[in-house]
Structure 1
């Protein structure tokens, strides 16, 4: 499958005056920015009890701190592609990073729950713009033949940040105060900004057409409403009006979005990108795997605390081997991809994740053992096999002119998958009483198996053709 692919339109034009290569610059900024944005979805959870004591608010009243961040992130993912075309990827990425960093500092100074929620919304706006534009820059900086080598860096935030968040958050709250959960973002953000201002190249688009206002309302509003409902479903119940109304409204907006964007003269998101067979089939497998993975990451630390008596910090440490497994898988994929092909790697990853989830279900049934720790490492390996090979294959046949649309669609489905996985897992735990964890792990195993079966449709032949004749 390996070929001597020449750099195409995906690669930045060389800049002889630049002291750092485009690849190093994009990797450095993207990894750092995406790391803090992803970590912020989990690190704040540990600080919620301290926030409640500080603001004199019951735990049940603190949901706006996380919901505001997630909803704002979801609402602004769809607009990132248009902004990149209008202002260039460099300006969009650095502005988003600046907004996220400033908002992090403001969060640490908040003196009320209302102020903190508002600052978290600003954080979410920056985080929502960062992931798609950063991924677009990575894909355009590296030609097709080199993207697998870049995966080991791209996987770092996805693998480590969600697992590190609870561990780091617990330590900061215990040893200092809740303010440091937000202050920890500042040095990373400032250094990434300075490095980006000095080195980051620009990947200008073809020029932005008229802004698709209705498309933004349908895509951003629909995605935000669905995520709002999913984040509240485990606590409020699916039959609650606070869940059912936004879920139905958001779903209707997303359904209407499809015909509108297909007919619009200048769509905000060109949904015809899903006509690319390789992109479509890989997304169909990545969606359930993302839901299952985040569902297990939600269930596992709670099971350790409720079932085995671990404290929050120790349960975070016990979950961390998952991150090491994903990083190990990114090394393996780059070596096996050409000989084995992405389809077999994805199928193996999905099947392995299902087996491990079944094992966790047996452990949750009352027979814990030391094997729980290496099981998380193996889970990370399996999920990493599917993610690394699937994300690489997804963009092989996508031309540079469509890259923003492809990364926007991928990040939208990633947010939906994560929210659905956590909502489903949380609902099963609460509805299953003593057997809730067992039912939850078995359900995640079934979802992983679906990802495995859908991966059978990924075409190794199309990937080989894409490597031999990279699109421009």
Structure 2
């Protein structure tokens, strides 16, 4: 029966279901932290450990994901990761203490860290380069809708049932994806995967863990704190050693030589900056909105949700716009549009029309949706199938660090710029200066990304674009550009 199912449809269904669950989990917990801390009898600050454990666990396992998928098979590793994530979600719902919940979140993070790069490798091995623009329609659900739904679903479940249901909601999704994948996914392993690069793993695991911990906790503990300074110093030292080692190993765990491809390198830099700007904005704006309007978490989530709708619309347009304009013009125009919208958002205030703010969030989704979609299509244009697992791992590592960097930098801006950042209650109109500066900082990340995007060459991404028949001499430039 499995042969009657299109392999492309199978991979798309399993990938979307699994990544929807994992992506929603990344934001669904934040709204419930205060309720969880009260129920488990700890201070709200202590409840933050359940997110830190999750993020650090992600950072540890992501670098090894590509090798695991190549060596043991993408189907096997993906489904094991999916099973671990789903089982850990069930355990999180049964936790009776903050230490138990933190442990189960670490297990959940380990499963989630493997899902993204292994799933992306499956997806891009299944779809040839010229069809990957259409894949953006598949990617949009987990990438856009799930994180935006997280705070809304969390608020509803916490109010109507219990915080434990924010974890139990993963069970039916995970069970479906696991069963469907077991029945219909095809296995793929790379014969030349080789042995595990132990030196790379032993350097990357603590290096990325310390870097993510420092970026996540720097604003809370203070960037001058001995713990944070030590984590930054040790993390940077280990990561520098990792680069030195990986460039000299025959079969590295993180294949940094892939950065020698101009298109993959440039798109990676654009992706890092876009992730930093978008995630930083999604961190700052809800705080600004709540400060300005004393809005509830649910109301804030509903205000930011149009960003996901804009991303969904962009995903439907990218297959056409990518072919019509090419990656360089499309990414540059999209980033420039997003910068303008970020600036408008930063200039908003207490008297701004809520529907105007929702329209701006929708505009962010449309613009950055085009940029993210085009980057994902073009990034892997010149990556051969045997290298797809390592390439998707490297791409995911860059994105995670970009996201963490954006939130860390903007959180530092908020913590450094006065009472609005500290959350101190004051009479009279709220001081939104710190939030506005932070949002301009998010726009600055996009501006840096735009400077990289200006160096994109469409000819490098020729494999992802439909070829035109050379019917006239003027058309000779098209095939020539693909050389």
Once the two structures are TM-superposed, the CA of residue 277 in structure 1 deviates from its matched residue by 1.1
Once the two structures are TM-superposed, the CA of residue 290 in structure 1 deviates from its matched residue by 0.6
Match for 2:14 among 16, 29, 32? 29
**Matches of 2:154 and 2:411, distance apart in 1:** 21
Q: For 1:215-234, what aligned pairs fall within 5 Å after superposition? A: 215-234=200-219
**1:278 aligned residue:** 263
Once the two structures are TM-superposed, the CA of residue 208 in structure 1 deviates from its matched residue by 3.2
Match for 2:171 among 186, 203, 219? 186
Q: For 1:335-374, what aligned pairs fall within 5 Å after superposition? A: 335-364=320-349, 366-369=350-353, 370-374=355-359
CA contact (8 A) 1:206 1:401 kept: no
CA contact (8 A) 2:130 2:463 kept: no
CA contact (8 A) 1:349 1:452 kept: no
Once the two structures are TM-superposed, the CA of residue 211 in structure 1 deviates from its matched residue by 1.5
| TM-align CA RMSD | 1.5
3-state DSSP class of the match of 1:67? helix
Q: Deviations over 1:51-71 (max 9, x none)?
A: 111111001111210000011
Q: For 1:383-422, what aligned pairs fall within 5 Å after superposition? A: 383-422=368-407
Match for 2:316 among 326, 331, 341? 331
**Matches of 1:170 and 1:101, distance apart in 2:** 21
CA contact (8 A) 2:311 2:365 kept: yes
Q: Deviations over 1:268-306 (max 9, x none)?
A: 122111111110111111111110000110111111111
Q: For 1:71-90, what aligned pairs fall within 5 Å after superposition? A: 71-90=56-75
Stretch of structure 1 that moved more, 384-393 or 148-157: 148-157
**1:443 aligned residue:** 441
**1:299 aligned residue:** 284
> What is the TM-score when the length of structure 1 is the normalising length?
0.94
Q: For 1:16-415, what aligned pairs fall within 5 Å after superposition? A: 18-364=3-349, 366-369=350-353, 370-415=355-400
**1:457 aligned residue:** 455
**Matches of 2:38 and 2:192, distance apart in 1:** 50
Once the two structures are TM-superposed, the CA of residue 242 in structure 1 deviates from its matched residue by 2.4
Q: Deviations over 1:413-457 (max 9, x none)?
A: 111111111111222122222311011111111111111121111
**Matches of 2:2 and 2:144, distance apart in 1:** 35
CA contact (8 A) 1:278 1:393 kept: yes
Q: Deviations over 1:241-281 (max 9, x none)?
A: 22221122111111111110111133112211111111011
Once the two structures are TM-superposed, the CA of residue 155 in structure 1 deviates from its matched residue by 2.1
CA contact (8 A) 2:378 2:464 kept: no
**1:8 aligned residue:** none
1:416 and 1:24, CA in 2 relative to 1: closer, same or farther beyond 3 A?
same
Once the two structures are TM-superposed, the CA of residue 192 in structure 1 deviates from its matched residue by 0.4
Once the two structures are TM-superposed, the CA of residue 107 in structure 1 deviates from its matched residue by 0.4
**2:474 aligned residue:** none
> What is the TM-score when the length of structure 2 is the normalising length?
0.92
**Matches of 2:62 and 2:415, distance apart in 1:** 31
3-state DSSP class of the match of 1:18? helix
**Matches of 2:401 and 2:180, distance apart in 1:** 32
Unmatched tracts of structure 1, length 5 or more: 1-15
Q: Deviations over 1:220-259 (max 9, x none)?
A: 2211111111110121111112222112211111111111
CA contact (8 A) 2:270 2:449 kept: yes
Stretch of structure 1 that moved more, 100-109 or 16-25: 16-25
3-state DSSP class of the match of 1:269? coil
Once the two structures are TM-superposed, the CA of residue 149 in structure 1 deviates from its matched residue by 0.8
Once the two structures are TM-superposed, the CA of residue 313 in structure 1 deviates from its matched residue by 0.2
3-state DSSP class of the match of 1:279? helix
Unmatched tracts of structure 2, length 5 or more: 419-430, 468-478
Once the two structures are TM-superposed, the CA of residue 465 in structure 1 deviates from its matched residue by 5.0
**Matches of 1:175 and 1:327, distance apart in 2:** 28
**Matches of 1:299 and 1:348, distance apart in 2:** 24
CA contact (8 A) 2:23 2:143 kept: yes
CA contact (8 A) 1:271 1:405 kept: no
3-state DSSP class of the match of 1:77? helix
Once the two structures are TM-superposed, the CA of residue 388 in structure 1 deviates from its matched residue by 0.2
Once the two structures are TM-superposed, the CA of residue 401 in structure 1 deviates from its matched residue by 1.1
**Matches of 2:459 and 2:130, distance apart in 1:** 15
CA contact (8 A) 1:397 1:466 kept: no
Task: Give the total of aligned pairs.
Answer: 454
**2:426 aligned residue:** none
